[in-house]
Amino acid sequence: MEKLGGEGAFKIGGREFDGKLGQLWYEAKAGRFWEDLPKFKADMGARLDLAQKNGASYHFFSNQPIPQEVKEWLTKKGITFFEILE
């Protein structure tokens, strides 16, 4: 949130989101989130569905390089992703 701004974490429909800027909702991950890829995909898909049902866009930010397989899956789902590698 420090880098992205907006509001901090919030919960809706039983899912927590890391933050939002108006109708742009986002998840931010640090570390090796892809080690449990099935859980990551399930969680991201559920959050995408909630965002869309509430008229919001959904985006993913990572402070680690995102593996190509994950990038392809995110693209297929329509989730915009960003690597913030500082």
> What pLDDT is stored for residue 4 in this prediction?
65
The percentage of residues in the chain with a pLDDT greater than 70, rounded to a whole number, is 94
- Residue pLDDT, tens place only, 30-63: 888 888 999 999 999 999 999 999 999 999 999 9
pLDDT at 1 over 60: no
**CB–CB of 5/21 below 8 Å?**
yes
Q: Of 11, 44, 52, nearest to 27 (Cα)?
A: 44
Domain residue ranges in the chain: 41-86
pTM of the entire predicted model: 0.88
Whole-number pLDDT of residue 40: 95
